[in-house]
Chain A
Amino acid sequence: MRWLYKLPLRIRSLFKRARVEHELSDELRFHLEKLIEEKVRKGMTPDEARYAALRELGGVEQIKEECRDMRRVNYIQNFMQDLRYGLRQLSRNPGFTAVAAITLALGIGANSLIFSVVNAAILHPLPFRDANRLVTLWATSPTIGFSGPGALSDPDYKEWRMQNHVFSEIAAYRGQPSNLTGGGEPMRLTGVAISSSLLRLLDVSPALGRAFAPEEETAGHNRVALLSDRLWRSRFGADRPAVGRSIKLDGEFYTVIGVMPAGFDFPNDADVWIPLTLANDAHNASLQIVARLKPHVTIESARRDVALIDKRFKEQRAPHPAGGWEWHIALVPLSQAVASDVRTPLLVLFGAVGLVLLIACANVANLFLARATTRQREIGIRKALGAGRARVIRQMLTESVMMAVLGGALGLLLAALGQSVVAKAASLLPRSMASSSAAAHIASTGIDFWVLGFTLAVSVLTAVLFGLTPAVRASRGELSDSLKEGGRGVAVGRSYLRDGIVVAEVALALILLVGAGLLIRSFLGLMSVDPGFSPQNALTMNISLPESRYAGARPMIAFEQQALDRLAALPGVKSAGGVFGLPLGNGAIAGDFTVEGQETPPPGTQAFIAAKKVIGGEYFKAIGIPLLKGRYFDEHDSEAGPHVVIVSQDLARHFWPQGDAIGKRLKPGFSNDAWCTVVGIVGETKQYALDETSSPSMYLPYAQAPVPFLMQDITFVLRTRSDPLSLVAPARRAVQAVDPDLPVFDVATMEQLVYKSASGPRFNTALLGIFAALALILATVGVYGVMSYTVLQRTHEIGVRMALGADAGDIIRQMVRQGMLLAAGGIAAGIAGAWVLTRFLASLLFGVRPTDPITFALVPVVTVVAALLACFLPARRAAKVDPMVALRYE
């Protein structure tokens, strides 16, 4: 029942402050008057009585303050007061405020930026409803160490659809790129065949028109298509009547039944979706599975269920097409599948940015510490007026929070500006299932609720980090000390805390620099790897021959012949060739094969895998792969001629270590195999990435391709006399002269492809390098700040020394020595820390150990130079001090 009395009081104290203050004064005045009366009655004169009474009463202000404290609403009032005071303080020292705010903005902004990337890529990578209930099934093979993602076959999917209990919805898809012709330039589309359940599963509906019906998954009814918003706008002018129109994909007519909403491009930059028609082929696996867990099923129980069903399947069906390896089906949450190859680099970056923020906080802490010592007088007065220690601390903490909020707001601004830059850079990240949609997601999400909350939390944390210590330090100290004239405060001379902070800063910066140095060396190593071919002056372009117009080998061989003839005839082209399986291109078919006279390895052991490529024209000459032994393909190696093959060096060495590969025979490992005789050995190339160890390959003539699908996609390679890009248009025209309805896509020079293949490491190195540089700058500023302050404090002492005969050189030397001692401490600590921490970078390094001696030697040198600079400038200022002025300085 007490609240009946308490509440009106609180409200009154809040809103009728002036009246309440008035009353307090009145109350105490009444008391004073009564006291004076009593003393007068006892016999004092009125004046004596007054003095005595005042003395007896004690500090009126203090009593008032204590009474105010008792009224618990004080907290709010004090807070408002602190805010106003803090604002005044900050605006009166614009230099201090600016430096501190910018330092914090850099630290907090960088953090927010990386966090929003992490948010979009790892934490919430999927813009679908209840995305954490979505899972995918991967085929894995523990025997060969393949942990996925492996595709499933069509019959497998059918079984899973029937037999599972844990999925409320299951869907499948596979890539089906196609040529769009008619109505303009022929265009290569990224197409996806999807089951009708997929859109329902993802809870996405077309923006226009309708989704696929289950009946449309059967042959004869499946010539319908859904367009992406991007395609609809660019190719069909965003016309509503596009729905219902017919389009020609790979020579077949499809009816457009709808357009998907903007931003939807599942799974990866898709342009068009068509219904998935399941086949009965158990020998080829090409399906990706997505499923939604039933509402109360946990991932663990789903995993168990999947393992059980998988076991049952194995007992029922035939061994897997990939030669008897043990395949398992694994259940993986979709969000994890999407972000798998971005996780490590992003987390490393996150750590780096955290360190930068720590350094920024250290700098600002030092700034605040320095300022706190100069405010000792003010604090002394406050305490004399009755401020408790807690009150003083609270007030200084409020200032810190304000500074942090200011820095945070600026940082958020910086992060917002940096969004678009990072989103663009993020699209260069290694291909994962949704990396380009992650980039789009980042760009579109921008500053979302999570990032805002994160920034706020970080701001408050940093305020506490850098504000607490100075506040506590300042609130201590003897009253009389502070109030004396010229009281320089708590610590005259060396402040161990400040020095310690600077040492820590330098150490942290050094750790970052070592990390960046390692990545830079690793990246340089990567770029200097010999790819096995000549990237200069080589142009590549892709075409895809649709089955509808190129049925069987004859027409395709005819096309290839004519196209290569025309391309080779272009002025500016030295040699022209074609290949299916371009190095560092879109991948290649690989598998095992049979070698005459050598046993096939038993099932379950690792078979020798080679890339199987089909080439035409003067491919090796065009791309610059050297011929080591034997001969190139020639006109004898035609469709009717004896079957031949060229192998790469590693393959030859593996099977014929005596070096007599020429003349031996092998079977490439396709359904209608023939024995092929080895006629040549060529050099090795990098196939998938520059940092791989070995990618042995076998090359078959185009005319003798074992299966049609090896002939459908051709990458033309042209060796040019001059700038390859100048030949793009003529080459296009040459190909389209043979077939005008064929889109020429993915045109790039080999140099561009090599560049692109290193984009992941490039991105990581660039970002970490930027943060390391930032850290170094901040640490240098920190050292500079501390040295400047030391010089300031010791001006008096310096004046004395100079008056006693020390010259400028002496002073400079002494100051620099003092500063370098600090830096040396930081460097030593940093090296120790780096030694321990760089092992976490190991997975990102190529050809460089985490304890690389060169990096560990060079980075301290760089740091020493920076520290020297930071010490030298204030030292020079110290030497310029006029002794007369210095001696008078208090």
Chain B
Amino acid sequence: MSKPTDLVQGTLDLLILKTIALEPMHGWGIALRIRQVSGEVLQVNQGALYPALHRLEQSGWIRAKWGESDNNRRAKYYSLTPAGSKYLEQEEANWRRLSSAIGLVLETTYGVS
């Protein structure tokens, strides 16, 4: 397994928002889903995950509700707020723009060398 890549805060926010856009999830579930979907490349550090979740909640992008998990244990489920989903759209668009720009630069450099 390759070394887990360090995730920048803004990127982590994006991943979390995208993950819970599909369905409300608790913290553990979010980390698991991100790992699975990215093919074990992106391993979210728990030390970063929960502060991020709380921050997003404080900013009003996501909201939390206590519910029952699969084995009837209490867990805190997070879901997107309307403002949050709009924010997600925005950030997604930004990310795509940024990554294609980086890609262009890398291609050019590759070509020169």
Pick out which of these stretches binds chain B: A62-70, A214-222, A288-296, A442-450.
Answer: A62-70
Q: Is B97 part of the binding interface, using a Cβ–Cβ cutoff of 8 Å?
A: no
Closest residue of B by beta carbon distance from A27: B76
Task: Take A67-B50, A70-B58 as given contacts and tell me if A30 and B82 are in contact as well, using a CB distance cutoff of 8 Å.
Answer: no
Q: Does A23 sit at the interface, judged by CB under 8 A?
A: yes
Q: Which of A15-70 contact B (CB under 8 A)?
A: 23, 26-28, 30-31, 33-35, 56-59, 62-63, 66-67, 69-70
Q: Which of B27, B55, B58, B82 contacts A27 (CB 8 A)?
A: B27
Question: Is A30's CB under 8 angstroms from B83's CB?
Answer: no
B28 is contacted by which of A2, A26, A34, A66 (Cβ under 8 Å)? A34
A71 contacts the other chain (CB 8 A): yes
Q: Which of A1, A28, A31, A33 neighbours the largest number of chain B CB atoms within 10 Å of its CB?
A: A31
A88 at the binding interface (Cβ < 8 Å): no
Give which listed residue, B26, B50, B58, B81, contacts A63 with CB less than 8 A. B50
- Assuming A26-B74, A27-B75, is B81 touching A5 (CB within 8 A)? yes
The reply to whether A63 and B51 contact each other, CB–CB distance below 8 Å, is yes
Min Cβ gap A479→B in Å is 18
Contact A30 B58 (CB under 8 A): no
B11-19, B60-68, B88-96, B99-107 - interface stretch: B60-68
Judge if A9 is at the interface, Cβ distance under 8 Å.
yes
Residues of B near A1 (CB, < 8 A) are: 82-83
Do the beta carbons of A31 and B51 come within 8 Å of each other?
Answer: no
Contact residues in A for B58 (Cβ distance below 8 Å) = 6, 9, 70-72
Measured in the bound complex, the distance between the Cα atoms of B73 and A264 in whole Å is: 81
Q: Which residue of A lies closest to B45 (CB)?
A: A58
Chain A residues with CB under 8 A of B113: none
Is the CB of B40 closer than 8 A to any CB of chain A?
no
Give CA–CA (A518, B66) in the complex, Å.
78
Kindly state the interface size class of chain B when it binds its partner.
Answer: 20 to 34
Interface residues as binary, B67-79 with A (CB distance below 8 Å gives 1, 0 otherwise)? 0010001111000
Asked if A70 meets B55 with Cβ closer than 8 Å, knowing A26-B74, A62-B47, the reply is yes
Quick one: which of B46, B51, B73, B83 contacts A57, CB cutoff 8 A? B46
Shortest A8–chain B CB gap in Å is: 10
Collect the chain A residues with CB atoms within 8 Å of residue B28's CB. Answer: 30-31, 34-35
CA distance A58 to B45 in the complex (A): 9
Q: Which residue of B lies closest to A59 (CB)?
A: B47
| B54, B76, B82: the one within 8 Å of A26 (CB) | B76
Interface residues of A, dominant DSSP: helix
User: Is A496 part of the contact surface with B, judged by Cβ < 8 Å?
Assistant: no
B40 nearest CB across to chain A (Å): 13
Partner of A30, one of B51, B54, B69, B81: B69
A5: chain B residues within 8 A (beta carbon): 57, 60, 63, 81, 83
Contact check, A2 vs B73: say whether CB atoms are below 8 A apart.
Answer: no
Residue of B nearest to A65 (CB): B51
Contacts of B75 in A (CB 8 A): 27, 30
Query: Among the listed A4, A59, A62, A70, which residue makes an inter-chain contact with B54, where contact means beta carbons less than 8 Å apart?
Result: A70
Closest chain-B Cβ to A6's Cβ sits at a distance in Å of: 5
Asked if A2 meets B51 with Cβ closer than 8 Å, knowing A30-B74, A31-B27, the reply is no
Q: Give the distance to chain A from B26, nearest Cβ to Cβ, in Å.
A: 7
Assess whether B59 is interfacial by the CB under 8 Å rule.
yes
Task: Give chain B residues whose Cβ lies under 8 Å from the Cβ of A62.
Answer: 47
Distance of A66 Cα from B60 Cα, bound (Å): 18
Nearest-Cβ distance from residue B35 to partner chain A, whole angstroms: 11
B46 and A56 contact, CB distance less than 8 A: yes
Chain A residues in 8 Å Cβ range of B55: 70
CB-defined contacts of B47 to chain A, threshold 8 Å: 57-59, 62-63, 66
Complex alpha-carbon distance, A573 and B46, angstroms: 104
Which residues of A are found within 8 Å of B46, using beta-carbon distances?
31, 56-58, 63
Contacts of A35 in B (CB 8 A): 28
CA distance A3 to B59 in the complex (A): 8
Min CB distance A60 to B, Å, is 9
The CA-CA distance from A59 to B45 in the complex, in Å, is 12
- Which residues of A have CB within 8 Å of B61? 2
Complex CA gap A758/B51 in Å reads 72
Whether A70 pairs with B76 at a CB distance below 8 angstroms is no
Residues of B within 8 A of A23 (CB): 66, 76
Give bound CA distance, A810 to B67, whole Å.
77
Q: Which of A3, A28, A30, A69 contacts B60 (CB under 8 A)?
A: A3
Once bound together, how far apart are the Cα atoms of A67 and B52, in whole Å?
8
Shortest B34–chain A CB gap in Å is 14
CB distance from B76 to the nearest CB of A (A): 5
- CB neighbours (8 Å) of A34 from chain B are 28
Residues on B with C-beta less than 8 A from A57 are 46-47
Q: Determine if A2 and B54 form an interchain contact, defined as CB atoms under 8 angstroms apart.
A: no
- 13 more contacts with CB within 8 A, not counting A9-B58, A26-B76, A70-B57, are A3-B60, A4-B60, A5-B60, A6-B58, A27-B75, A30-B26, A31-B28, A31-B46, A57-B47, A63-B50, A66-B47, A70-B54, A71-B54
24 contacts between A and B (CB under 8 A): A1-B82, A2-B61, A4-B60, A5-B57, A5-B63, A6-B59, A6-B60, A26-B74, A27-B75, A27-B76, A30-B28, A30-B74, A30-B76, A33-B73, A56-B46, A58-B46, A58-B47, A63-B46, A63-B50, A63-B51, A69-B51, A70-B55, A70-B58, A72-B58
Query: Which residues on A are within 8 Å of B, measured CB to CB?
Result: 1-6, 9, 23, 26-28, 30-31, 33-35, 56-59, 62-63, 66-67, 69-72
The 7 closest A-B pairs by CB, nearest first: A2-B60, A70-B54, A66-B51, A70-B55, A34-B28, A5-B60, A67-B54
